[in-house]
Amino acid sequence: MSEIKPFTLAIPQAQLDDLNTRLDLARWPEKEPVDDWSQGTPLAVLQDLVGYWRKGYDWRRCEARLNALGQYKTEIDGLEIHFLHVRSPHGGARPLIMTHGWPGSVIEFMGTIEALTNPADPADAFHLVLPSLPGYGFSGKPTSTGWGVEKIGRAWGVLMARLGYDRWFAQGGDWGSAVTTAIALQQVEGCAGIHINMPLGRPTEADLANPSPAELKALGALKHYQDWDSGYSTQQRTRPQTVGYGLVDSPVGLAGWILEKIWAWTDNQGSPFDALTRDQVLDNIMLYWLPGNGASSARLYWESFGSFAAQEVSLPVGASAFPKEILPCPRKWAERTYPNLVHWGDMEKGGHFAAWEQPEAFVGELRAAFGKMG
C-alpha cells in the first residue's frame, strides 16, 4: 500500500476526439448586455479561447512536459495521490512540498521548477514534490467524506516520509495555503517551516476603529469578494454535486467557470491573457477536463471552507503579499497569526496565482524565506 509507482500520462486519442466533438457542438448563450466582465466571462472572449482550444492547442505538448518531469502515484488512506517529484542535482537541496489551489493545478508551478531545483547557487536548491490535491488533477476522487485540509496535510507528511525526507518545508497559495497552514498547525512530523502566498489574518476592533491605508484596502477587497466574487465558493461549498454535472459534461462551461476566476484574480490590465498565455490557461483547464473532476474538486469547499479562518501558527513562517491577491492581508494582521514570522515580502506585481504569474519573484521569495529557516 505504501508503494510509489511511476505514472505516465497517455490520454487516449478517443478522449481528445470526444473533446473536439463537444467543442464543435457547443450550444452558446446570447452575448451579455454589458461591455465588460461584470456579468461573467464575455461571450467573445470565451469563443476566442475555445476556437484556439479546438484548432491551435496541443495537449500532447503538455503531456510530454509532465512526463519528462517525473510523475508518480501512491496510495494514502485508501486514496491514490498523483504527484511530480523533481529532485535537484545538488545533494544538499532542501525538500519542499508545494500545494496548488482551485481553480489551479500543478501547472501553476511549471515556470518555477528549473530555477528551484537547479539554481546557480547550490544553497538555493530544492527537491520538489508537487502533489495534486485529492479530487484534482490525476489524483483519486474521495468516495467518502473527510478529505479536508487537515487530513490532506497529514497525508502530505506521509508522502514526504515515503520519499525519504525526514526534514522538509511546505509552501502553498489558495487551498495550498490552507493545507500548508494545516501542516504547521498539526505540527506534522518533519515539517520545519512554511511559506504561503495567501497569508491570513483578522483585524481587531482597534484596527477597525482607525484603519491604515493597507487595512482599508484589505477591508474593501473583502467586501468586494463577498458582494461580487464569492458566488462560485457559495455554490461549491453548499452544492458541489449540482454544479459538477455541468462542469464534467461541458468543456465550454468548465472553461467559462475557470476563466472568469483567472481574469478576476490575476494582475492584469483587463484581460486574463495579460497575465497568462492561452496555452497556460488551457493546460490547467485540461487537468480538470480530462479526469472529469469538476465535482470532486468543488467538494473541497464543502469539506473545508471554514479552514480559511486565521489560526495562530508557531512554526517559522514566510509570507509574500502580492498586490492583486483577492483577500489582501496587512502585515500587522499577519504578525498576530504568525508570531514566528521570519520573512515578509511586499511584492510589486502579481495576483492570486503567484508562482504562475510571477515565477521569478516567487522563486526569490522562497529562497529568502526558507534561507532564514536553516
What are the pLDDT digits (tens) for 216-248? 999 999 999 999 999 999 999 999 999 999 999
The pLDDT value given to residue 309: 80
How far, in Å, are 8, 20, 63, 70, 240 from residue 13 at the CA level? 15, 11, 12, 22, 29
Taking residues 170-195, report their average pLDDT. Answer: 97
Contact 105, 132 (CB under 8 A): yes
Which tens digits make up the pLDDT trace of 300-334?
A: 999 998 888 888 999 999 999 999 999 999 999 99
The pLDDT value given to residue 94: 98
Mapping DSSP to helix (H, G, I), strand (E, B) and coil, where does residue 204 land? coil
Catalytic (active-site) positions: 174, 301, 352
pLDDT > 70: what percent of the chain?
Answer: 100
Max Cα-Cα span within the chain: 61
What is the band of 364 on the pLDDT scale with cuts at 50, 70, 90? Answer: very high
CA angle 111, 284, 188 (to 5 degrees): 70
DSSP label at residue 70: -
The pLDDT value given to residue 176: 97
Domains and CATH numbers, the chain: 4-371 (3.40.50.1820)
Q: Is the pLDDT of residue 103 over 90?
A: yes
The pLDDT value given to residue 374: 82
The pLDDT value given to residue 1: 59
Whole-angstrom distance, CA of residue 282 vs CA of residue 16: 13
Map grid coordinates 464534467 to a residue. Answer: 248
* Helix, strand and coil in the chain, % to nearest 5: 50, 15, 35
